[in-house]
Structures are given as structure tokens and as C-alpha cells.
Amino acid sequence: MKLGNYAVVYHKGGKGKSTRAHRVIAELALGKPLPQGAVVHHHFGDTNTKYPRQLVICQDQAYHMLIHARTRIYRVGGNPYINRICSTCKLLKLVTDFYKVLSDKHRYECLTCVKERAMLWRMKKKKKN
């Protein structure tokens, strides 16, 4: 367990459903208070799981969102290194189907959606004129 980008903490099921409890458990496991801005991610949303819950301590909210994005990709059978899910059409696509430069890191829109949006925008503009 290290705290570079994140640390993983295991704890048995039972009580502690709240994020607050997760923070306490994470701090106990770390043996020190959580770093400033750290976010505790509850790896298993399913509370009925028999397995110990996995708490992932993220260095910040941005890293936390990255974990969620990766989890979504794994769930649909993709590979986070080569796939992305389009925020608009929700389809799993290759990273090469996305623009490299993005203004918003947490929103990925595929080229098809970007083009479609541009087309709709142009059509709207035409109607107005």
C-alpha cells in the first residue's frame, strides 16, 4: 500500500456505508490523516458482496474520476489503455476515435458525435438565415 497516486485499503463488510466511515477506516489503515484533497473511493458499489470492500484512496478528485472512467470501460469489456467511452453516445470506442486535445478532461466525445454536433449547428444556422 502506497500513496503515490492512490492507495488500496481492504476492510470487511458490515457497518460503514457512509463516505465518512470510509475516511475513518482509510485513515486507520494508513495510520495517519488523509492528505489534503484526498478522496476515498468505494470500489464495490454493491454492499452485498461477500468480499472485503476495497477502498481506494485517491490523491484528488481528478484521479477519483479517472478510476470511475476506467471502471466503466472494464464493465463493458474494454481496455482503458486503448478504449474510451463517448460522453455523448455512450459507446465504447478506440482512443483514436477521439480528439487528442480536450478542453474538459472529464468529457470525452467521439469524432462522430463532434461531427454530428457541428452538422446540426450548421443546419440550425442555415434555418435562421
Strands of 1-129, DSSP E: 6-11, 39-42, 53-58, 83-85, 92-94
Continuous segment of H or E residues that includes residue 63:
helix 61-75
Binding segment (CB under 5 A) for Zn ion, from list 30-38, 72-80, 86-94, 116-124: 86-94
What are the angstrom distances between the C-alpha of 17 and each of 20, 32, 65, 79? 8, 21, 20, 30
Residue among 16, 54, 88, 98 that touches Zn ion (CB under 5 A): 88
- Which CB atom, from 83 or from 88, has the smaller least distance to Zn ion? 88
Closer CB to Zn ion, 30 or 67, in the complex = 67
Among 25-33, 35-43, 46-54, 77-85, which window interacts with Zn ion (CB under 5 A)? 35-43
| Distance of closest approach, residue 93 Cβ to Zn ion, in angstroms | 7
Phi, psi of 92 (to 5 degrees): -80, 120
Q: In the complex, which residues of this chain contact Zn ion (CB under 5 A)?
A: 41, 86, 88-89, 110, 113
